[in-house]
Structure 1
């Protein structure tokens, strides 16, 4: 009897550990937002406005990406749970405004959102189901208010140049957390403000200081904030 009881206890412990592992299968999120002016100014041939028209001159969501503390990340975690637009039908108006696609050819955004869910979102589904993943990301975008933070510091998207520290300090002042800034280059070789990374805890609820920053996308000494 004791032997069977011990086996049962062991099985229950293993089940608990399995659930615990599933709920802790990544360490944090990157919330990545993109300046559309820099996307389009880098290679105009690859910039197409959505079928709904030109997006607002504001940072748009690129994605919410699960990551590990060592700098690596999981991807394409559940091919059996593909993107289903009907699950976010109540979010579509906000998605088109805040998470627009600029890829060519022009589209409504479904392909972009599908890619983000399939590659990144499925790796967080132990915490966020499909609807929660997109709803949470939209909420985080509103919470961070990047453009307002920059404008409040006198950093405007009018083609002017700023230092990396000026940009980082403005965003930290506005959000409370240190961002990582990714730059690309315009056709003249100028470094421009392209993407802003902030880190979020595994619940998707709270901004945190980044355990590790990405590599690549380095910025020059002066960074252009192009118009859009």
Structure 2
């Protein structure tokens, strides 16, 4: 009798553990693909540090590819047994340093940033993407979006001038056929600047889509600055943590 009870308890525990594991690792619904404008990242009281590979190009850079649920929540740090391995992306390193550079202080080569993004966000997409394909997909999405060209075609250029928030959204939507979410920062003078562009991507990280739910980033005023990065040489010494 005791043996049967022990077996029953053991089986019950296995079922509970299996259900718990499934609830934690449930499939996500879509990605936020987030790009940031480097001049706006740097033009804060904290400033920034250029990577050890040199000052990045005047272009949007990747911040992250983040799995999300339709209800506005998101998974994070999903697999401590599948942490970042830089050898997995050795063939992508040169592109990553150009298109996914770190601006955190102190200066780095990018690996710490990419490690953070994979461990926190990428491991939650591992049922769909392995580490290499996660970073490859992000690079492909950046090329596909080509935000700077989309804005330039509408006469919106990084020249320190102010543009309406609506015109920026319309330029991106006209090029990609989906609605972006624009996040602003506030520079030391209190001006709103174009900081990050969120685009929603399907769960295979292949195609842009309309966002099931918009993020809760910092909102913009009706007129926002698009600062030049080619004239920016402001570098700080304070540590800035990558999100």
Q: TM-score, normalized by length of structure 1?
A: 0.89
| Alignment-derived partner of residue 44 in structure 2 | 42
Judged with a 3 Å threshold, the aligned counterparts in structure 2 of structure 1 residues 81 and 23 are, in CA distance, closer, same or farther, namely closer
Q: CA deviation at 1:46?
A: 3.8
CA contact (8 A) 1:23 1:127 kept: no
What CA distance in whole angstroms lies between the structure 1 residues aligned with 2:119 and 2:90?
18
What CA distance in whole angstroms lies between the structure 1 residues aligned with 2:208 and 2:217?
23
Judged with a 3 Å threshold, the aligned counterparts in structure 2 of structure 1 residues 210 and 117 are, in CA distance, closer, same or farther, namely same
Judged with a 3 Å threshold, the aligned counterparts in structure 2 of structure 1 residues 35 and 47 are, in CA distance, closer, same or farther, namely same
| Alignment-derived partner of residue 13 in structure 1 | none
CA contact (8 A) 1:78 1:122 kept: yes
Give unmatched runs, 5+ long, in structure 2: 1-18, 230-243
CA contact (8 A) 2:41 2:48 kept: yes
Task: Tell me if 1:145 matches 2:146.
Answer: yes
CA contact (8 A) 1:22 1:126 kept: no
Structure 1 residue corresponding to 2:31, chosen from 29, 32, 53: 29
| Alignment-derived partner of residue 159 in structure 2 | 158
CA contact (8 A) 2:31 2:205 kept: yes
Please state which structure has a larger fraction of its residues in helix: 1
1:1-228 matches, within 5 Å, as 25-43=27-45, 45-228=46-229
Structure 1: which 4+ aligned runs deviate by more than 3 Å? 20-24
SS at match of 1:53: coil
Q: TM-score, normalized by length of structure 2?
A: 0.83
Give unmatched runs, 5+ long, in structure 1: 1-16
CA contact (8 A) 2:29 2:202 kept: yes
CA contact (8 A) 2:169 2:180 kept: yes
Aligned residues: 211
SS at match of 2:148: helix
CA contact (8 A) 2:25 2:78 kept: no
String of CA shifts for 1:169-203, please: whole Å, max 9, x gaps: 00011111110000011110000000000000001
What is the alpha-carbon root mean square deviation over aligned residues?
1.8
